[in-house]
Amino acid sequence: MPGTPEDFAKQFDELSDAALIDVANSGDELVPEAEAALRVELQRRGLTATPPIESVMESRDLVLIDRFRDLTAAQLAQGALQSAGIDAVLRDENLIRLDWFYSNAIGGIRLEVDRENVEAATQILNQEVPASFEADGEEFHRALCPACQSPQTQYETLNKPLSVTAMWLGFPIPVPKGKWHCEACGLDWKQEPE
């Protein structure tokens, strides 16, 4: 269960008027307890959502194209689509902002686009990662996987499972990982990033 009505009421009470209206206008699908707490808080402050909460995305035919656990990854994908002229909507991002532990419980942040843009959006999000690129006259090279030579690699500084477990146990201490990970073959290896 993501939270009690009292938990949501407390979280909404701590938000500024502008942040509360942003949550109401975002189009995020809230669990019933959160939606009820949001309505009560808006009414208590004499604020109104424009448009009203229930009609934010009614008139659009939106299709889910991806889900993200992390807000940063969701915003990067949304930005890539918007820079290509495709309007993309993130659902449940404000709930995740309130408490990121809810991400797995609600299925992550949903990225949606209008039905007529699904094919173009999918192509943009599925583009191959370039092995190198040039910016400001300087060439940058991605680290290649030593096993499969894929450029789909990332340097992981934090051991997320251990860090989350430590957080749940009341010890908010980040546990370092310091390894490269290949998304293509799953290999982990130790090498300092350049």
Q: Which residues pair with 154 in a beta bridge?
A: 181
pLDDT at 144: 85
Query: What are 142-186's pLDDT values in tens digits?
Result: 788 889 988 888 877 777 777 778 777 887 777 777 788 888 898
Q: What are phi and psi of 18, to 5 degrees?
A: -65, -45
Rounded mean pLDDT of 40-54?
74
* Angle at the Cα of 27 from the Cα atoms of 22 and 31, rounded to 5 degrees: 100
Please, which pLDDT band fits residue 59 given cuts at 50, 70 and 90? low
Q: Has residue 55 got a pLDDT over 50?
A: no
Strand 188-189 vs strand 62-68: parallel, antiparallel, or unpaired?
A: unpaired
* Domains, in order of start, for the chain: 1-55 (no CATH), 60-127 (3.30.70), 132-189 (no CATH)
Closest CA to 124 of 92, 155, 88: 88
Q: Has residue 112 got a pLDDT over 80?
A: yes
* Angle at the Cα of 72 from the Cα atoms of 69 and 73, rounded to 5 degrees: 60
pLDDT at 56: 45
Q: Which two tokens stand for residue 153?
A: 């690699």
pLDDT at 8: 82
pLDDT above 90: percentage of residues in the chain: 17
